[in-house]
Each structure stands twice: as C-alpha cells, then as structure tokens.
A and B are shown apart, each in its own frame.
Chain A
Amino acid sequence: MTGGGRDTAESGQAPSGAPVPPSTTTPAATARARSTVGRLLDLVPLVLAIVAEAAWIAVAGGLIAEYTLQEPHLGIGALALFVLAGVVAARVLAPAAGDRWPSVALLLVAIGGLIGWLSAPAARTALASVGVVPALGVNPAGWVAGIAVLRGFTHSKLPISAGTLATVFAVGVPSLAIAALAGGMIAEPHRARFLADATVAVIVFAGCSVVALAIARLTAVGAGSGFDWRRNPTWVALLVVLVLTTLAVAVPASDLSPVFALAAGSAVGPLLVVGLVLGFNRGTVRTVALAVAGVVLVIGLFRLLGSRGVITTESLGGGAAGSAAPPGSGGLGPVGLLVIVVAAMIVVLVLARLWSRRTTPDPSGLVEIRSIDHGDGSTNRPARRLRRRRALPEPVTAEEAYIRLLADIDRRPDVRRDATETPAAHAARLRGTPAADLSLDLLAADYALARFGGVDLSPAEERRALERWRRLRRSLGARA
C-alpha cells in the first residue's frame, strides 16, 4: 500500500501506487473550471459560518428562555435565516446607504429583534391584549434575532474573513461552556429542554465553525496564489471526517467518566492521522466507511426499535415545545446522531471523489504541472527487520570492491550513488566531503577501467583498490 492514490487535476482515476500522468493547468482551463457549481461551492464557508452563528445564538436564546421559564421559539434554522438576512442587507444596503449605514443597521437590528419577539404567538396575543410593556415579558428570547441580524453584517464580504471566524470560535467556546454551566442550574423540565437543545447547537456550532474557519484560512492563504480549498479534496474529506468523527465520539463519551472522555476524544485525531500515515487510500476508506456504517446502522435500528424515550424532530431544531429527554438518559440521542454522522461521512467521501476532478486554475495563467509521484520507492521500502541480511563475500577485485562499496553505502541517501550518476560523477560529487577524498575517484576509475575498458589491473592495483574500499566503507559511514 503506497498511500493515497489521489486523482490529479485532470487525469481522472488514479489507482493507488500507480504512476499518475501529470496534469497541466493552463489559462484555457480557467473558463471551464469557473462553472456554476464552482461558484456555488464558493458559498460553502459562508453557509457554514451562518449556521455556526445561528447555533451559538440559539444557545443564548435558549438560556434566556430557560431563565424566564419559557419555551424558546427560534431554533437554529430560523436564526440562520436572520443571519442570512443580515448578510444580504449588509451586501445590498450598505453601499447604497453610505454614511447612513450605521443608523440603517441599527434599525435593521431592531426590526430583526422585533420580528423574533413577535414570532411567538403568545407575544402577539399579549401585545394585543395587555399592551406593549407587559408583552415585553413574553418571549424575551426572541430578541436574539436582532443579534443574529447584527452578526450577519460581519459576514457580508466574500471570501469570509478568517479573523472574524476565529474570533467567533475563540469567544464562542468559553461562552458556550459558561452558558451550559449556567443552564444546568435551573429546575426541570426547562433544564432538560435547554441541555438537549444546547447539545445539538454546540455540536452544530463546533462542526460548522471549525470547518468554516479552516476553509476561510485556506482561502486567505491561497488568495492570489491561484488555489483554494477545492484543489485538495483529500484535505477536505479528511477535515470533515475528522470533525464529524470527533463529535460523534465526543457526544457519548461526554456522559462517561472524565478519563474515558479524555482518552476517547483525544484519540480520534491521532487515530485518523495514524490511519492516514499507514495507508489512507480509496479502498481503505471505502471498507472502513462501509463497515462502520453497517455496524452503526444495525445498532441504531435496534436501539430505535427497543427504546421508549422519544426526542421529537423539533428538538433538533430547538424550536417547538415537546417533551425532551436529557442527553444520555435514553441513549437514543447519541446513537441516532452517530448514524447521521456516519452517513454524513460516507457522503463526504463520495463528494471528495467528485471534488477531486475539479480544479481551480491559477488566475494569473501560470503554467503548473501536478502529478502524484511516489518516487523511487525509497520511502516505501519493506521493514528492515523483515529482511535477513546475508553475509556477502569479501570482494577480491577492484570491480567487486566498487560494487560492494555501492551496496555498503546504499542506505545513506546523502552519499549513495543516484541512478542517474556515473561512477565518475558520483565520485566528483563526494570529492568535496571530508569522508571521501580522492580514494573514491581512484576506485571508480579502477572499476571503469576493469569493467568497461577491458584493462587487466595488476595485483598491486587490485590490492590498493581493496584497501580503498575498506577505508571508504568506514569513512562514508556504511555499516558492514
């Protein structure tokens, strides 16, 4: 197994370990690559960022609702629409408003909050029956829709800012942790409802923000250099699989002992990386994915059929009221989530295969040749311990001495003879090093005379050649 046999830019399928013909990206390919699908893929990080923003705002709204002993009415989906409205408003209205944009933005935030507040029927009823001020106490969590609109303003420019996303993640993680701790202090049933919704929101937040941040960083790094995240589908697949797998492991592990949680959670990344290093080709991915999917599907079905606890579909969105089991109480949540996650992994792997045929050519028209090259196999040599080293006979001629020297120094990449080097060129290359003085030149010359020149060397010359071999073997650091 020689590692990832990835498709190159335009060469199609690449079997693992097989030589892949190089692909050339030229300006002519630029127009082809910028397809509609390509432009839609440009929006992927923005969509992820919107969902991540909506997720943490949903937790904030849920906390407010919990502390006011009410049910939250805005889930992640609804809040994502508010964030999207903020993005669109900033892109459309900000240039037109000019200097008046701050005032307009404030107005939009207020309108967003108002709509969020009135999204609850109870708030509308209270407004009609008891007036404005008393009605403000109903569905106060709805006002977080204004925050969603405000956050949308920050993602109005494409490509989205990696710095902004990094701030969202850096501030979001401790804030969500504090919110989770604070939310656990309220009495049931609001506590269970909040924790169930917050768990989903935190998973969505972590997954979306990490992936969006990575893509945004890569886009920023590659800006002006003619590539973006779609140029490396292996990377995209690995990133998504890693994040999803971590979340899938983290959720059930979070209910267990801290030591087990730490061990399980922290082992995911290294395990996948180790798997990647040991061999992460298509066959491996396919086999592992299918096996995991099958096992998890069977377990999930058994649990679904045998469980009495119910989590309504609305609770995944954090929306309408419903009886919710606390996370971990029934075991259905983690397992069901695992099924979804594994299914997502398979989809991602399929998408990775599709993406591998897609390229983003260099806009500057730079000629670039890409190929998968496993080299001369020096990196894939069989384990040394498996090879039994036979005791080679001592050389008796200059010709044998030179060949034996080559075998002796073959494990030293810095001094061994390259496949393209002649004996004289090899000796000339090493002549400057302290380890090999003129002896190698003389030995190589003896070899050339005897091997190719048809010259019969005298016994004295043969003896000197053998002495040089012994000296060079020591000085060049070869192991006899």
Chain B
Amino acid sequence: MSGRALAAVLLVLAGAFVGAPIVVVLGLVVLLLETIRAVWTRYGLQGVTYRRTLASDRTTWGEEIPMTIEVWNRKRLPLAWLRADDDASFGVVVRERDLVDSSRGSGALRNVWTLAPFERVTRRFHVGAERRGVYDLGPVDLSVGDLFARQALVEERDVRARFIVRPRTVGTTGIERPDQWGGVERSKAGLTEDPSRFAGVRPYTPGDPLRRVHHRASARVGAPVTKRFEPSRDREVLIVLDVQIAHGPAWDLAVETDEIEDLYVVAASVARALATERAAFGIAAAGFTGAESRFAHVPVSSAGGQAERVLDMLARLSAHPSAPFERLLGLVRRVARPGTTILVVTARDATPFAGWFRRLERAGCRVVVLACGREATVDAARARSAGFVARAARLNGPWQTATALEAAS
C-alpha cells in the first residue's frame, strides 16, 4: 500500500470516528485515485503491442526510409495515454518529428497516443540520417498513464532495428580510363576481355558490337546471341581508401567530418562508376566497421551487387582511421593479385607512401593516385613527379549538394 493510500484510509477512519463526513469524502476520493492507479499499474501495459517496421534496412544519404509504428491496445482497459520513447542513434532524422532527449543519453522518437479498448493506431514516418553510417532504433520505453492521466507504469521493450545510410554518389566526369589493349585499365566495351577464354553466349542486347554476334548459335536458336568471354585478370580495380586526411599518428588526429565525408562521397562515386562500367572492383580501408578486424576489405569481384557491398562498407566505415595507411598498403600487397589496378583515394600528399607504391608495382599491380583533398592538384602533381599515375578529383560543391566529381589529369 502506498503512502497516499495509507493516508487516505487514515482520513476515512479519522473522519468517521470524529464525525466529520467531509474528511471521509476527501479520504474516499484519494483512495479512489490510488485504487485506480494500482489497477492501471497492474494491467496498463498488458496486451499492448508496439511494432516498428522499416520498409528497408538501407538507404542512400539524402533519401528516406518509410517507417511504420503501430500500437495496439489489445484489452478492454482504455489508456488515457501511452507514450513510446523509441531510442535513436545520434544523427537519425525523422521528417515528421523532432527527436527528444532520451533517458539513455541519445535521441528518442517520442510518440504519444490515447487509446480506446482494442484500438490499433498506425503512424507513418520517414527516417533518414544526417550523414552516412549505421543507425540503430530501439529499445523502446513504453509508459502508460492511469485513468487520471498519472504515469502508472514504465517498461522497456527490446524492440530494435538497424539501418544503413550509404554515402551519396555523384556522377563522375573525366576519370574514364582509356581503353588500352593489354593494359591494366578496363575498357567500356570490354575490348580487353580475353578472347581466348570463350565463356558462352548471351542474348543480344542493343549496343552489342556486330562482331560479337555468334552467327552460328544465332541461327541455331533462332535469335541473335552475343559471345561472352572471360574478363582479363588485369582489369581488376581495388580502391584503397586513405581514411586519414592529414599526416601524423593515426590515433592522434582531429576528425574533420566534412572533409572525411567528401572523401567517402568520392570513393562511393568512383565505386558506382566502376560498377556502371561493369568492372571487377573492390575496396580496402583502414577503418572500423563494427567487425573485429581493423581493416575493412571487400574483395575484388564483378558479381552483381558488388557496388552495394562496397557502399555498405563505406556506410559502416568509421570517420577515423583504425591503423596507419602503410599497414593497409601492406595488407593490399598481400591480397591484391598481380595485374590489379590499385586506385588510391586520398586527401593528403601521397609521396610519403611512394615506397609502398613501388612495392605494389613490383608485385605486378599498377598504382593510380586519385588526390581529392584541399590541395588535390598539388598532391596529384607531387605523385606524378614521384613517378605514379595521378589525378586530381574534386566535388563541385559541398558533399551534401555536389552534383559531380570532376577529375583533372
């Protein structure tokens, strides 16, 4: 029995014994309040279901995921109010609502309903994020008010969801690689496919060169088909992302968030461009992704969904380095096959790593530096003077609004 209930009983008893009906009435009113509170405390959250549904578990920065929140009061007790504080990671943005401060220190999406018996309410939101990353929703704190709207019960429910916001990608101009026979770069039309490695036929699609049409097979099946060849091994591209934007110890750097985001948008755009060109590509970076490894690595592949895998990894990647870039280059030297083009995307002067680049070249890889920092042109010139192929690439605006990645030789 709570203190108020005890006081109410004492009021009733005292009023009755001294013959003061008013005191009895007051005591009974307080007793009523406490009784009702006890009932709602006991049964308030029974049969209450809370369901959060995300239409997708990943999106690209600037786009939103439709989210549905449904509550259902599956009992006959009406609820004066039901409040749900749905925890959200920092950076989560809900279009329809501002987040409130959560009891756990993060933000929370607060929803309040008043529910009749058996009432089911569905609300639709649109959720996004301030920048790329991995975002969590939940757990949710449900609290319920009694008939007199006092908070009667609070309960934490472990309803969690996670979504990934990939970095945005922009169109790339001026970084198409020239078609070189026997070279290390991939051509648009697949000239550097290995013609000795016939891989079958596929249905003809408009744009296929006529010389690729397999006439005998076309005549046999009654429809035009095109020859396919295994790709040459030397058309593999491994993007090596230098997460660090200034020289110094990897663990002792202030993170310039916007510059890092610039770098990620560049890397994502390059990956998207490679996927469009049907190149076999992968990515490696020295950053944390939530896995145990200090290095993030998506192996080179031309399989479908490779771009999405790379973009997912870029979404998960931390904004601060997990290891010195030299160690990442050491890893790349071990995993990259001879003939692979190593595309180093960096925002700083790459010449201190010239030794590592040469080791990679000695291993049969070709190193191309894509300088995209504040002094991209100067950095690219330095890399070229060191004997490497280098280009300067820069977004034509802030990463949030840029429309193209412009590259210069």
Contact = CB atoms under 8 A, between A and B. Distances in A.
B184 to A, nearest CB: 47
Contacts of A257: 16
A363 B123 CA distance: 14
Contacts of B31: 262, 265-266
Given A276-B77, A372-B116, A269 B26 contact: no
A390 to B, nearest CB: 30
A217 interface: yes
Given A250-B24, A266-B31, A379 B47 contact: yes
Interface in B30-86: 30-33, 35-36, 39, 43, 47, 72, 74-81, 83
Nearest to B7: A174
B16 A218 contact: no
A4 B76 contact: yes
Contacts of B25: 199, 202-203, 206, 247, 250-251, 254
Contacts of B27: 177, 265
Contacts of A221: 81, 83, 112, 145, 149
A198 B116 CA distance: 37
B339 to A, nearest CB: 44
Given A4-B117, A218-B80, A199 B22 contact: yes
The DSSP consensus for interface residues of chain A is: helix
Most A Cβ at <10 Å: residue of B72, B75, B83, B115: B115
Contacts of A266: 28, 31-32, 35
A258 B76 contact: no
Contacts of A213: 148-149
Interface string A295-336: 000000000000000000000000000000001100000000
Contact of B11 (A177, A225, A373): A177
Nearest to A252: B21
Interface string A172-201: 010011001100100000000001001100
A371 B119 contact: yes
A273 B121 CA distance: 23
B8 to A, nearest CB: 9
Contacts of B35: 266, 269-270
B26 A4 contact: no
Given A177-B22, A181-B20, A280-B76, A210 B29 contact: yes
B333 to A, nearest CB: 42
B372 to A, nearest CB: 40
A415 interface: no
A371 B117 CA distance: 10
A24 to B, nearest CB: 9
A368 B21 contact: no
The DSSP consensus for interface residues of chain B is: mixed
B21 A254 contact: yes
A192 to B, nearest CB: 12
Contacts of B72: 373
Interface residues of A, number: 76
Contacts, number: 221
Contacts of A255: 21
B280 to A, nearest CB: 35
Nearest to A178: B23
Given A225-B112, A227-B113, A364-B97, A253 B32 contact: no
A77 interface: no
Interface in A48-104: none
B111 A225 contact: yes
Given A4-B76, A210-B29, A239 B120 contact: no
A16 to B, nearest CB: 10
Interface stretch (A132-140, A228-236, A286-294, A438-446): A228-236
Interface string A245-286: 011011101111110011001101110010011111000000
Contacts of A277: 43, 75-77
Most A Cβ at <10 Å: residue of B23, B28, B30: B28
B20 to A, nearest CB: 5
Contacts of B81: 218, 221-222
A181 B18 contact: yes
B22 A198 contact: yes
B13 interface: yes
Interface in A199-227: 199, 202-203, 206, 210, 213-215, 217-218, 221-222, 224-225, 227
A348 to B, nearest CB: 14
Contacts of B83: 221
A232 B78 contact: yes
B124 interface: yes
A369 interface: yes
A33 interface: no
A180 B119 CA distance: 44
Contact of B28 (A3, A250, A365): A250
B43 to A, nearest CB: 8
B213 interface: no
A379 B149 contact: no
Contacts of B33: 210
B118 interface: yes
Contact of B36 (A202, A222, A273): A273
Q: Give the top 6 A-B pairs by smallest Cβ distance, nearest first.
A: A258-B16, A265-B28, A217-B149, A254-B21, A254-B24, A180-B22
26 contacts: A3-B117, A4-B78, A4-B116, A6-B117, A176-B26, A177-B15, A180-B15, A198-B22, A218-B80, A218-B114, A221-B83, A221-B145, A225-B111, A229-B114, A235-B114, A235-B147, A238-B78, A242-B36, A242-B147, A250-B24, A262-B28, A266-B28, A277-B76, A277-B77, A368-B123, A370-B121
Given A181-B23, A225-B112, 17 more contacts: A4-B117, A177-B26, A180-B26, A195-B22, A221-B112, A232-B114, A234-B116, A235-B79, A254-B16, A258-B15, A265-B28, A269-B36, A364-B96, A368-B123, A369-B123, A372-B116, A379-B47
